[in-house]
Chain A
Amino acid sequence: NAGVTQTPKFQVLKTGQSMTLQCAQDMNHEYMSWYRQDPGMGLRLIHYSVGAGITDQGEVPNGYNVSRSTTEDFPLRLLSAAPSQTSVYFCASSWDRRNTEAFFGQGTRLTVV
């Protein structure tokens, strides 16, 4: 099993550009989530999904969209990148909705200039 795979690992965007961060898991996990990690602010939940076709907002959803058309994939879309979105993004998955153990991808380091 590959676990949770995130692509790309690094990305530089110009302000106003859009892009999609990819996340795929091969563990048949129901629960998937996106976090951003910023110095001094820990992990903040952006969006999450409890199953295919079901998504919901976390604590910092503005500027981001998600969809969950399959169990395996949970892409994160930046609609119009802003410098404030410079961060490290992590995708995580758990085998059930109780989120009893989260498996993390290796992260995407995004810089918006």
Chain B
Amino acid sequence: AQSVTQPDIHITVSEGASLELRCNYSYGATPYLFWYVQSPGQGLQLLLKYFSGDTLVQGIKGFEAEFKRSQSSFNLRKPSVHWSDAAEYFCAVGPNAGNNRKLIWGLGTSLAVNP
């Protein structure tokens, strides 16, 4: 079955520390991969996406993610976290072929940032 797992429900880091949020997926073929961020009371905003090519992708707000096919993972990283990064982060996957491109979502990781 197709699924996305974000193993960490909640993470707390100190401002200035590095961050890694994990995402593992189960899918029949190499999917499209996404990370979205949701600030409190807001909709979701795309941070970055992977379709093909370079497995290290850069996104907005200083985030990056690395696609590792052998591990079925797409972990999100940031070298130095800012207090404004406190939010909910969602990993999603979608098919890279066909017309029915429904996304499969992880349950999210809530990030808290200590001053």
Check if B102 sits within 8 Å of A106, measured CB to CB.
no
> B41, B46, B90, B105: which contacts A101 (Cβ < 8 A)?
B46
Chain B interface residue count, CB cutoff 8 Å, equals: 21
Q: For A102, what are the chain B residues with a Cβ–Cβ distance below 8 Å? A: 36, 44, 46, 103
Chain A residues within 8 Å of B, Cβ to Cβ: 4, 31, 33, 40-43, 45, 48, 50, 58, 90, 92, 94, 97-107
Chain B residues within 8 Å of A, Cβ to Cβ: 32, 34, 36, 41-46, 49, 51, 90, 94, 99, 101-103, 105-108
- In the complex the two chains form, what is the Cα distance from A58 to B105 in whole Å? 13
Check if B90 sits within 8 Å of A100, measured CB to CB.
no
> B43, B99, B102: which contacts A58 (Cβ < 8 A)?
B102
Q: For B101, what are the chain A residues with a Cβ–Cβ distance below 8 Å? A: 31, 94, 97-100
Evaluate whether A106 and B107 lie within 8 angstroms (CB atoms) in the complex, with A97-B99, A99-B102 already known: no
- In the complex the two chains form, what is the Cα distance from A92 to B45 in whole Å? 10
A41, A48, A104, A106 — which one has the most chain B CB atoms within 10 A of its CB? A104
